[in-house]
Every structure is written in structure tokens, then in C-alpha cells.
Amino acid sequence: MVEHMTYTKVEAKNTVDPIWQAMRRDAEHWLVEETALASWLQTAVLEQDSFQTALAFLLSAKLGSSEINPLSLYQILYEPISQDLDIIASARADLSATYERDPACNSYLEPFIFYKGYQAVQAYRIAHWMWHQGRKTLAQYIQSRVSETFQVDIHPAAKIGKGIMLDHATGVVIGETAILGDSVSLLHGVTLGGTGKDRGDRHPKIGTGTMIGAGAAVLGNITVGNCCRIGAGSVVVKDVPNNTSVAGIPATEIGESLCDQPAMSMDQKF
């Protein structure tokens, strides 16, 4: 395991990045192993100067369109990546989280290149930066492209911590006033939505270390505590205390979460 790190601007420029070095080694190995991907690996990883430029290149290649071509989008995306060190610290933490929690993941490069959940969250982080810079139209454009490309819809005003894993990711929806703590895991089809009746602060608040199973819906301005487990297909419409497992429609408490960090263990047996 490689710990994610935060740097000052000087340190970020001069420090060897172990995650980036591991990604480059894997790309060199893959290039020999699968020549059909050689050109892509060279361009997306081996010709890039840093994790930062690689992330901007990857997202611009995925999200570029007839409205904004990939080259122009690269310049747009690289601005926040280069200015806000928290974006890159979060991107590294998310990458580590996916590598550590997903048993199908064998390297840091796999989620970076192939996992749309990881890519969608990083695009959200850039859109979130744009939103708070007053560039809300551009933020919404990025949100729209992420939805079209990855089938993941995260409002740029939502607040999401570090060490996030979206496993499979298809159909994940996170509303405008939702808040997620650090080290949260969401599986495909999860909705963090409103009830359809309220305005203003109307979306769930999810605590640190919580795991939400596939197809679950958490609705309304409710709080799911730290280190909780929400069973697949559940509909949660009321607060969930810390360290609690819930399941069902509507979800009811079925006991303690049985571990310190359900998002880490990913144990979905209830």
C-alpha cells in the first residue's frame, strides 16, 4: 500500500510520487504485454510529465466532444488541477481506496485508465472547483458530459471527501446538497437524492467510513452516521446512527456494522 500524500507547491514539484512511479512501471509492462494498447499507453501515461498532466489528459480524452474538443478541454481541466493541491491529494486517495478495497483491482493504473467510477469522481472534483469559482455553467457542462459518458450524475455543488470508491458506478446519482465524508464506498445504482418535495438543503449527509450497497436509495436531508452499512436495494428515509447496519424497504436497523470501517472491508453479508 502506498499512502496518499499532500504537498506544498514546492514539494509537489520536486517530490518523487510513488503512485505515479508505480503507474509508469505498470504501463511499461502492459505496453510489452498488449501491443494493441501501446500507442494509448504511451500517450496517456508514459509521455506525461506527472500524475497531474496524466489526469488532465485522460479526462479530456474521455470527456472531449464536438462542443469542446479534447485539446481545449485539457487546458480547462488542467487549470484547477495545477492550482488546487487538494484535487490531486484527493485523486491519489481515491486511487489508493479503489486499489485497496476492490478485489478485482491489481494495480493503481487499472482504475486510473479503466474504471469509470474513479474517473467520474475526479471530473466531479474539477467541476466542484469550477462551481466555487463562479463558473457554474462550465461546471454543469462537465457534469453533463460525465453523465453522458460514464452514466454517473454528481452535482458539482455536492461535497465529497477523500478516499472515495465508486465500484462499477453505473447509475450513481449524488444530489446538489449531499455531503459525503472521507473513506466512503458506493456501489452501482446508489441514489443520494431528495424526496421531491423540499427545496434548499434536501439531500443526505453520509458519514466517514460508510458503505452503501448496490441499488440503495438514501432520500431527503437525513444523516447516515460514521461507519454504517446500508444493504443493497434498501430505501433509507430516516437518520441512521453511527456504526449501524440497515436494510430493507423502508430500511430498518438490523444490528451493529460489525467493523470499524465498513467501506474498507466491503462486507455485504447481513
- Ranges of CATH 2.160.10.10 domains, the chain: 158-270
Report pLDDT digits (tens) over 70-112: 999 999 999 999 999 999 999 999 999 999 999 999 999 999 9
> pLDDT class for 23, splitting at 50, 70, 90?
very high
Task: Identify the pLDDT of residue 9.
Answer: 38
* Number of neighbouring beta carbons within 10 Å of residue 46: 14
What are the residue ranges of CATH 1.10.3130.10 in the chain?
Answer: 1-152
Residue 152 has pLDDT above 90, yes or no: yes
Q: At what angle do helices 51-63 and 116-132 cross, to 10 degrees?
A: 100
State how far the Cα of 78 lies from the Cα of 112, in Å rounded to an integer: 16
The CATH class given to the 1-152 domain equals: mainly alpha
Q: Is residue 12 predicted with pLDDT exceeding 50? A: no
**pLDDT tens across 29-79, in order?**
999 999 999 999 999 999 999 999 999 999 999 999 999 999 999 999 999
Q: Do the bridges between strand 252-256 and strand 244-247 make them parallel or antiparallel, or are there none, so unpaired?
A: antiparallel
Contact assessment for residue 107 and residue 99, using Cβ atoms and an 8 Å cutoff: yes
Give the model's pLDDT for residue 269. Answer: 73
Report field, pTM of the whole predicted structure over 0.85: yes
pLDDT at residue 5, as a whole number? 36
Name residues whose C-beta falls within 8 Å of residue 226's C-beta, 6 or more positions apart in sequence.
Answer: 181, 207, 208, 209, 210, 242, 243
Measured at the CA of 46, the angle between CA 51 and CA 170, to 5 degrees, comes to 60
Q: How far apart are CA 194 and CA 200, in angstroms?
A: 10
Q: Indicate the CATH number of 158-270 among 3.30.930.10, 2.160.10.10, 1.10.3720.10, 3.40.50.1370.
A: 2.160.10.10
2 pLDDT band (50/70/90 cuts)?
very low
| pLDDT-derived band at 124, boundaries 50, 70, 90 | very high
